[in-house]
């Protein structure tokens, strides 16, 4: 393989992996801290993408435009949505056993999909790429690479770093990490669990929505985008170990590499490779790479 092409694939793998990490980190936090299996998490990715599509023109009109402004608006809206959803629906799931959670969130997926269909229709939409992120950039004079994909990677890394700092350097982060390894203890320590859960959930939704919004210009906005990402993210969470952000990051990178290079090297088996990877890892480490708690 040509070294330039190899580098391109590496960058693609990085970008895809970081995108996965954004979605998976929310999922692993929610499962690790609140013990909720949320099958509808992929829907939040889809919602983020549709928000980017729907809010773009509105942001242009009222706030003077800007792609970054749209992204921030999506994140804010998604966080609010997540906060409300937790209060209205997900907080009832704590007392339920995991099977019931699986089923209720499965029902939620159906509801989200149809609501989207009712509100925005079933068409595939495009989200315009902002001018300053269009085009390609030259890498060392050897080859060119799309600017936007670098932007995605940059955002992914920045958010990842931010997440790391919040989790390891702030009091809130400390509580979140404590909660991930021992749910009963944080309640015993007198920390307001309800608010903590709501914040974590809102953050998870916001992360997934951000991923969807950022990916929208590249992948376009279409009905099935939620379920595709959901399955892969569950794979990432499971490989990485439930509740572990570090694990989610590593696993997302792994999956990014396998998927990207898999499509290039073994196109016929491309869809299967990720599952082979997961099965292989679980058979060696039945609880993921970095099990929490």
Partner 1 sequence: MRKAVPLLCCAGFLLALAILPAVAGGYATGLALKIMIYALFALSLQLLVGGAGLVSLGHAAFFGIGAYAAALLTPEGGAASLWWLLPATLSGAGLYALATGALALRTRGIYFIMVTLAFAQMAYYVFHDTAVGGGSDGIYLYFRPEPALGGALLFDLADDTVFYFFALACLALGWLFLGLLRRSPFGAALAGIRINEQRMRAAGYDTYPYKLAAYVLAGMLAGLAGFLYALKDGFVTPELLAWEQSGLVLLMVILGGLRRPGGAVLGAAGLVLLQELFQSEAVFGAYAQHWHLSLGLAIIALVALLPEGLVGLPARWRARHDGAGPAAGLGDEGADAPGPHGTTATTTRPADAPARADGRVAYTLTGDPHA
Interface positions with partner 1 (CB under 8 A):
31, 34-37, 39, 92, 94-104, 106-111, 113-115, 117-118, 183-184, 227, 231, 234-235, 238, 241-243, 268-272, 275-276, 278-279, 282-283, 286-288, 291-293
Cβ distance to partner 1 smaller for residue 46 or 210: 46
Longest distance between any two alpha carbons in the chain, whole Å: 59
Q: At closest approach, how far in Å is the CB of 283 from partner 1?
A: 6
Cβ distance to partner 1 smaller for residue 93 or 152: 93
Q: Which residue has the tokens 């339920």?
A: 96
Q: At closest approach, how far in Å is the CB of 165 from partner 1?
A: 26
Cβ distance to partner 1 smaller for residue 1 or 279: 279
Q: What is the distance between the alpha carbons of residues 223 and 105, in angstroms, rounded to a whole number? A: 18
DSSP H/E element including 136: strand 136-139
Question: Hey, what are 45's tokens?
Answer: 């990715």
Q: At closest approach, how far in Å is the CB of 129 from partner 1?
A: 30
Q: At closest approach, how far in Å is the CB of 11 from partner 1?
A: 26
Q: At closest approach, how far in Å is the CB of 61 from partner 1?
A: 30
Cβ distance to partner 1 smaller for residue 2 or 97: 97
Cβ distance to partner 1 smaller for residue 163 or 235: 235
Q: At closest approach, how far in Å is the CB of 71 from partner 1?
A: 29
Q: Which residue has the tokens 């396998």?
A: 258
C-alpha distances in Å from residue 181, one per residue of 110, 129, 194, 292? 32, 41, 17, 6
Q: At closest approach, how far in Å is the CB of 150 from partner 1?
A: 31
Cβ distance to partner 1 smaller for residue 62 or 117: 117
Q: What is the distance between the alpha carbons of residues 125 and 217, in angstroms, rounded to a whole number? A: 9
DSSP at 221: B
Cβ distance to partner 1 smaller for residue 114 or 192: 114
C-alpha distances in Å from residue 144, one per residue of 3, 5, 62, 68, 141? 13, 10, 36, 24, 8
> Within a 13 Å sphere around the CA of 185, how many CA atoms are in the beta-carbon half?
11
Q: Which residues share a beta bridge with 122? A: none
Cβ distance to partner 1 smaller for residue 5 or 279: 279
Q: At what angle do helices 3-34 and 245-265 cross, to 10 degrees?
A: 140
| Alpha helices by DSSP H, the chain | 3-34, 41-63, 67-88, 98-120, 147-169, 171-181, 183-188, 193-219, 225-240, 245-265, 270-284
Q: At closest approach, how far in Å is the CB of 32 from partner 1?
A: 9
């Amino acid at each position: 393989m040509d070294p330039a092409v190899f580098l391109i694939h590496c960058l693609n793998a990085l970008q895809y992996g970081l995108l996965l990490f954004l979605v998976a980190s929310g999922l692993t936090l929610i499962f690790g801290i609140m013990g909720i299996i949320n099958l509808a998490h992929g829907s939040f990715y889809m919602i983020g993408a549709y928000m980017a599509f729907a809010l773009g023109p509105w942001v242009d009109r009222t706030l003077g435009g800007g792609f970054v402004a749209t992204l921030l608006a999506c994140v804010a809206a998604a966080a609010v949505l997540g906060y409300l959803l937790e209060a209205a629906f997900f907080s009832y799931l704590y007392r339920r056993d995991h099977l019931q959670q699986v089923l209720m969130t499965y029902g939620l997926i159906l509801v989200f999909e149809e609501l989207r269909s009712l509100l925005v229709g079933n068409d595939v939409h495009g989200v315009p790429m902002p001018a300053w992120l269009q085009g390609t950039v030259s890498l060392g004079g050897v080859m060119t690479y799309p600017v936007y994909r670098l932007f995605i990677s940059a955002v992914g890394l920045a958010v990842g770093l931010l997440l790391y700092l919040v989790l390891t350097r702030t009091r809130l982060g400390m509580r979140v990490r404590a909660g991930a390894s021992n749910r009963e203890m944080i309640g015993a320590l007198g920390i307001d669990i309800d608010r903590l859960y709501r914040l974590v959930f809102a953050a998870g939704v916001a992360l997934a929505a951000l991923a969807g919004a950022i990916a929208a210009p590249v992948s376009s906005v279409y009905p099935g985008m939620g379920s595709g990402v959901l399955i892969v993210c569950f794979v990432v969470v499971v490989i990485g170990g439930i509740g572990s952000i570090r694990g989610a990051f590593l696993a997302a990178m792994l999956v990014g590499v396998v998927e990207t290079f898999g499509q290039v090297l073994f196109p016929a088996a491309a869809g299967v490779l990720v599952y082979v990877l997961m099965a292989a890892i679980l058979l060696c480490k039945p609880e993921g790479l970095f099990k929490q708690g």
